[in-house]
Structure 1
Amino acid sequence: MSVGISKTGLPGSNTVGIALFAAVLPARESTAAMLLLLILGDMLALALYRRHADWRTLLRLTPSVVAGLVIGAAFLAFVGDTWVKRSIGVLLIGVVALTLWRRRIQQAAENRSGRGAAIAYGSLGGFTTMVANAGGPVMSMYFLASRFSVNAFLGTAAWFFAVINIVKLPVSISLGLITQETLWMDLLLVIPVLLGAVIGRAVVTRISRKTFDRIVVVLTLAGAVYLLF
C-alpha cells in the first residue's frame, strides 16, 4: 500500500515499505521483490502525470544517476546479506536526516539546485535506489529544490523512477534476486498497491502533509533501527 501511496500522492512515503520488506525477507531479495511493485506503481503514476515532466531536469541528472546505479549494483554483487540489511537501515536514517535538514534550511537549499546539486542528488539517488529502493526521498528533495509545481514534481518523479526501475530490473535478474517465489508474492500484492494508489490520491487532498510526514518519519526510523540492531 505504501508503494501505491508514494506513487500517486506522497512521494517518498514508500520508505515504510522498504523497512518492512527488509524486515521480513532476506535484505538483498527484499529490494528485488519491492522493485516489481514499484514498477507497477510507476505505471500508475505515468497514467496520471506523464504530461507534466521537466525533461531538462531529467537529462541533467542522467550521468550522475547512471554512476550511482553502477556503484550500487557492484555493492549488491559483493556485499553479504547482513551488511546489505544494515546498509538499508543506515540509508533510511540518512534519508530521514537529510529530509529534516532540507526543511530546516529550505530557503538556502532552494538556491542550490544547479549542476553541483544535480551531481550530488543524482549519484546518491542512483545508489540508494539500486541498493535499497530508497531513492524517492533523496530525489524528492532535489525536485523540491527545483521549485516545481505539484504536477511538474509528480510528473518528473514518475518518469524518473519509471525509467530507473526498468533499468534496474535486468540487474536484479542477473544477480539472481528475482525468483519464482518473488513473482508469486508480488502477484498477490498487486491489489494492495492499487488500493494504495487510490488512497494516495485521496489522502493528498484530505490530510495535512505535515501530519503524514511525521508518521512516515517515525515509522521509517523505527524500521531502520530494527534493521541495524
Structure 2
Amino acid sequence: MISLLSDPAFYFAAIPAVILVGLSKGGLGGAMALMGVPMLSLVVSPVQAAAILLPILIVMDIVSLWAWRGYRDRRTLWIMLPGAFVGIAIGWATAAIVTEAHARLIVGLVTLAFFLRWVFEKLAGRVHIAEQSRPRGMFWGGVAGFTSFVAHAGGPPYQVYALPLRQDPRVYTGTSVVFFAIVNAVKLIPYFALGQFDRSNLMASLMLIPVAPLATLVGVWLIKRMKPSVFYPFMYVMVLIVSLKLIHDGVSDLMGW
C-alpha cells in the first residue's frame, strides 16, 4: 500500500472519483456516484475500490446530513428503511453467490424501464404523481439495500420509488441523504465481517477523505438553487445515464469483455 499511496497514478484516478461521488452525495444524482468505483478500479481491484470508498461515503453522509438538515420526509423513511435492512441482510447472506455483474444488469434494466415510462408519460402529456405505498416502498427499499451492499448501486431503486412522489427537490434530496446515510452505516457491520477493511485500505481512505466534504458541499450548493422544473428533468436524465452505465457494466462483466 505504501507503493500505491506514493504512486501519482493512484491520485489521478482516486481524486476525480471522490469528487464525482461527492457531487452525487450533495444531491446531483447517482450517475456520478457510479463512476467512483470504476475510476478507482483503474489502479486497484474493484473489491478494494469499494472498500476504500465506503469510509469516504460515511464522511460524505455526515456532511450531507448537516447540509440538508431539516429537509426530509419521515413517512418515506419509515416505509423504505425496513426493506433496506432486509436487502442488506440478503446481500450479506448471498455475498458468495450473487455477483456484482448480475446485480448491476438487473438494476440497470429495471431503471431503464422506469425512465422509458416517464418519457412515454411526458409525450402523452401526463404527469404521474404517486402516492406513498408501504408494499412498494418496502420492496424498492429492499432492492436499494441489496444493490447498495453488493454493487454500491442503491440509488436507482430508491429513485424508482421516490421520484414519482414529486416531493419538493430539497425534501427529496434530504430524505435520500438520510436514507443512504443509514444504509451505509449499517453496511459497515457486514463489510467488517467479510474482511473488506484492512489497514492498507483504511490508510488509502484516510488520504482521500479531505476531498470529500468540499465536493459534497458543491453538490449541495447546486441542488439548493435548482427549481423543480429543472430538478426533475435533470434527475430523470441522470436515471437514464445510470441505467445505461449499469447495463453496460453488467453485460461487460458477464461476457468477460
Structure 1 gaps of 5+ residues are: none
- 1:60 is aligned, of 55, 79, 82, to 79
- The alpha carbon displacement at 1:40 in A equals 1.3
- The alpha carbon displacement at 1:18 in A equals 3.5
Does structure 1 residue 134 correspond to structure 2 residue 153? Answer: yes
Does structure 1 residue 7 correspond to structure 2 residue 15? Answer: no
Question: Partner letter of residue 28 of structure 2?
Answer: L
- 1:157-194 deviation per Cα after TM superposition (whole angstroms, max 9, x unaligned): 11111111111102101110111111111122223323
- 2:207 is aligned, of 183, 188, 213, to 188
Query: Residues 61 and 177 of structure 2 are in contact (CA less than 8 Å); yes or no, is this contact kept in structure 1?
Result: yes
Aligned partners of 2:235, 2:70: CA distance in 1, in Å?
28
Aligned partners of 1:23, 1:92: CA distance in 2, in Å?
23
Query: Residues 22 and 227 of structure 1 are in contact (CA less than 8 Å); yes or no, is this contact kept in structure 2?
Result: no
1:1-229 matched pairs, under 5 angstroms: 1-13=19-31, 14-21=33-40, 24-76=43-95, 78-79=96-97, 84-91=99-106, 93-94=108-109, 96-104=111-119, 110-111=129-130, 113-204=132-223, 205=225, 209=234, 213=238, 222-228=248-254, 229=256
- 1:42-90 deviation per Cα after TM superposition (whole angstroms, max 9, x unaligned): 11110111211111221112322121111111122x23xxx63423542
TM-score with structure 1 setting the length = 0.82
Higher mean displacement: 214-223 or 167-176 = 214-223
Query: Residues 27 and 219 of structure 2 are in contact (CA less than 8 Å); yes or no, is this contact kept in structure 1?
Result: yes
Query: Residues 50 and 158 of structure 1 are in contact (CA less than 8 Å); yes or no, is this contact kept in structure 2?
Result: no
Aligned partners of 1:64, 1:218: CA distance in 2, in Å?
25
Alignment size in residue pairs: 225
CA-atom RMSD in angstroms:
3.0
Question: Partner letter of residue 26 of structure 2?
Answer: T
C-alpha change, 1:95 and 1:8, in structure 2 (3 Å) is: farther
- The alpha carbon displacement at 1:137 in A equals 2.1
Larger Rg: 2
- The alpha carbon displacement at 1:95 in A equals 5.7
Higher relative contact order (CA 8 A, sep 6+): 1
C-alpha change, 1:199 and 1:145, in structure 2 (3 Å) is: same
Higher mean displacement: 135-144 or 18-27 = 18-27
Aligned partners of 2:73, 2:221: CA distance in 1, in Å?
25
Aligned partners of 1:53, 1:69: CA distance in 2, in Å?
22
Question: Partner letter of residue 190 of structure 1?
Answer: I
Report SS of the residue matched to 1:66. Answer: helix
Structure 2 gaps of 5+ residues are: 1-18
Higher mean displacement: 43-52 or 92-101 = 92-101
- The alpha carbon displacement at 1:120 in A equals 2.1
Aligned partners of 2:176, 2:236: CA distance in 1, in Å?
22
TM-score with structure 2 setting the length = 0.74
Aligned partners of 2:62, 2:211: CA distance in 1, in Å?
15
